Structure 1
Amino acid sequence: MERGVFISLEGGEGAGKSTQIKALSNYLTDNGIKNIQTREPGGTPGAEKIRDLLVRGDVSLWTPKTEALLMFAARQEHVEKTIKPALATGKWTLCDRFADSSIAYQGIGHGLGMDSIESLHQWVLGDFKPDLTLIFDLPVSLGLQRTQGHAVGENRFESMDVSFHERMRKGFLSIAKSNPDRCIVIDATKSENEVTNDVIKVIMAKYGKMIHGQSC
């Protein structure tokens, strides 16, 4: 059986990843591509418990190093128990955030450094990375404005100061520049439908033959 495709969706707060992952999943399903949606931190019962530790509470609850270690603890569970098994059965796996978020948030936003996070990634996951990463980019002020009214309690990262979010945005763009074969930047300031159309264009440009072959 052919391995599934692993696609991660990245970006700052309020970038619209949750909306677009659903739209992409629906598009793939309509074209005969079996897929799953998952998220980070989370994706398994144990990782979801770690998620609660990370996304709730005061911004100073964890030191940056502790935060990074918790993220990778959840990610190890997620990869081994959800992502790899899905890919092995041929399912496309759509993930709302993955390891690039650790580089942008803890590595650059919190100042731990990209090298430290990449070394941690190598130790925990080796060379395992997404096949394609869509980075949804928009101004920090607009993204934070959009997050108003999101899930009550899950706002620890949203509550961090604006300078943190600005550093994080630059981090995502730096990741995209350093990984042009894997990362595509999507303009998230557009309307929901326009962003969805841009996402589908990227998917079809890269995997169109695979999708058409599956749906024939």
Structure 2
Amino acid sequence: MSLFIDRGGIVDAERIKIKIFPLIERGKLGAVNGIVVHQTGGGNSDGTFSSYSKKSVSGEPPNGAHFLIDKDGTIYQTASLFRVTNHVGFLQSRCVLTKKCTPTELQSALALEKTKGNRARALAVHAAEKVKRFPDRYPSNSDAIGIELVGEAPGERGKEVFVTVTDQQTRSLQWLMKELMETYNVSMQETYRHPDIARKNVTEAKTAKW
């Protein structure tokens, strides 16, 4: 069965608690082409909720995802499913990672990878991917639902390793993913861990299963 979603993009389901944070909502979310699974850097949901509730020192709104699954398996909806949230970050090249570039695409991609500076390089690749239409690119903020798993990433800076997803989180994630894939007709091939499609810590959500 598909999820019941009301006019405001809010899910009506016993297993989901509603805790919407308007600051993480951006523009209108159109077609949903994928689902991206994340892990938080903080070890509890209260810390994430706090970050969702305030702007940065420079006045920028916070990033966030549509759902958050606590360590005990509790599922929270944190943003409307009709609104974009910033959860994906800089996209990587789909044709490069899947080894399906045309000669022209590969030449362009290799040229972008020569951009000096990690951030500048990531931004250049992202800008090139962003103008492509799905499925020539990975699902992005504009067409993907984001799910956060409360986690934690201990370790020295640059070598952080995300903790293992709990059994309760796994059960809730499997249920939620199944419901969302049926509701939006998203294939298993278009569901990803965050590092699969963006430039993120490779251990993020590595132990997540669905």
TM-based fold match above 0.5: no
Q: TM-score, normalised by structure 2?
A: 0.30
- Select the structure that is richer in helix: 1
Q: TM-score, normalised by structure 1?
A: 0.29
